[in-house]
Structure 1
């Protein structure tokens, strides 16, 4: 189901980090491939906030490999920047899922109390999250089993399927 078309823009889930020295080059600019790692971190935290971990998915025999990735670079992140990765679902079905991301640089003030900021993110559906936009992107995934064959999530792990649907339904109620 494409959430935007269904009138259910998913809320942003946030994870925050400080750019480490190893993630930047000699000029202090973040190497482009690190953004994909940050996207993964955003997805992982999103699942955790829905009530499941990637570790649990894999123990249950369900994997979620990336089938495509798209990134648009607006401005570079730099060593020691405070960064937030915002992730949300734009498409969700028993076979596929698409995530949208925004990587934003936060001021020290914006990075303050993450609980207060998370409370306001529920309202940030069509609005932009706080901070300077650095990178946007999407990743597409397919649910597979341990043999890397497509697996219907509603059959392979119905608890997660229903937890995601319920989270999306709750989000849609305040749109």
Structure 2
């Protein structure tokens, strides 16, 4: 099922080095693309990964899932659509969809699960500690998560 609004989209052309010998984007690139989407969404909110880290708020990936649907190839323009799937205590989940821009073909979809941790790698309740930032992130949360 395609992703519904609201989502943030980053677009770019597939680079040659992202493809394998068969001319298809290598599966490992999708994890990198998910990160591009996640950083882009956070930047769009006026936040900065770097600034969050300087404040002692780290967000390591603890789980990554990706389902491959169709192939992307060198030169294709792709869109990485990213939204917040869940915010719960120290857990933050992002959902992703990769589409070929020209024909809107869905290429993959997936999720990453992160834990908010401090500089000592101890989880903390992000919603309680940073309610303003949690509110910002909810702007890109699935409608059902916002109580609508």
Q: TM-score range by the shorter chain?
A: 0.7 to 0.9
Task: Name stretches of at least 5 consecutive residues in structure 2 with no aligned partner.
Answer: none
Aligned pair count? 144
Q: Distance in 1 between matches of 2:26 and 2:87?
A: 30
Residue in structure 1 matched with residue 26 of structure 2 by the alignment? 31
Residue in structure 2 matched with residue 149 of structure 1 by the alignment? 122
Aligned ranges 1:118-129 → 2 under 5 Å: none
Q: Counting strand residues as a fraction of each chain, which structure ranks higher?
A: 2
Q: CA RMSD in A?
A: 2.5
Aligned ranges 1:1-175 → 2 under 5 Å: 11-107=6-102, 131-165=104-138
Shift in Å, 1:157 = 3.6
Shift in Å, 1:27 = 2.1
Shift in Å, 1:10 = 6.1
Which structure carries more relative contact order (alpha carbon 8 Å, separation 6+)?
1
Deviations 1:6-42 (A, max 9, x none): xxx7611101111111111122111101000000111
Shift in Å, 1:77 = 0.8
- Bigger mean CA deviation after superposition, 163-172 or 132-141: 163-172
| TM-score, normalisation: structure 2 | 0.85
**Deviant stretches of 4+, over 2 Å:** 154-159, 161-173
| TM-score, normalisation: structure 1 | 0.73
- Asked whether the 8 Å contact 1:100–1:138 carries over to 2, the reply is yes
Task: Name stretches of at least 5 consecutive residues in structure 1 with no aligned partner.
Answer: 1-8, 108-129
